[in-house]
Amino acid sequence: DTAVSQTPKYLVTQMGNDKSIKCEQNLGHDTMYWYKQDSKKFLKIMFSYNNKELIINETVPNRFSPKSPDKAHLNLHINSLELGDSAVYFCASSKLHEQFFGPGTRLTVL
């Protein structure tokens, strides 16, 4: 059974488009996260969401917005995609300090 799942696995799109990545966790965790991993494999926190409290990394452009319909889901919506947004995006969840990561979504902006 998948603990943290993301869809789609791959996403190829044109510059300027708007896209969403979905994330679901079935672990009953209270906190969910979005990370961006660049081509050099550097993993950087974008958002964390805990009990309706959203903490945003100040370097994240406001074209990125997380949306949480319920505790088990944290989706990532991206407006006006740019070439530099190409990366692998990971969703994660945690109860205490151990984080469980999804398989990642490879986003390619052409």
Partner 1 sequence: TQLLEQSPQFLSIQEGENLTVYCNSSSVFSSLQWYRQEPGEGPVLLVTVVTGGEVKKLKRLTFQFGDARKDSSLHITAAQTGDTGLYLCAALGAGSYQLTFGKGTKLSVIP
Give per-residue burial for 37-57: e unless 16+ CB within 10 Å, then b: eeeeeeeeebbbbeeeeeeee
CA distance 9 to 14: 17
Interaction mask 33-72, partner 1, x per CB under 8 A: x------xxxxxx--x-x----x-----------------
Q: Which stretch binds partner 1 (CB under 8 A): 12-20, 21-29, 60-68, 91-99?
A: 91-99
Q: Rounded to the nearest whole angstrom, what is the least distance from the CB of residue 101 to partner 1 in the complex? A: 3
> What's the angle, vertex CA 45, arms to CA 39 and CA 47, rounded to 5?
130
How many residues belong to the site for partner 1 (CB under 8 A)? 23
97 contributes a contact to partner 1 by CB under 8 A: yes
What's phi and psi for 30, nearest 5 deg? -90, -20
- Rounded Cα distance, 101 and 75, in Å: 14
75/94 with CB nearer partner 1: 94
Residues that bind partner 1 (CB under 8 A): 4, 31, 33, 40-45, 48, 50, 55, 90, 92, 94, 97-104
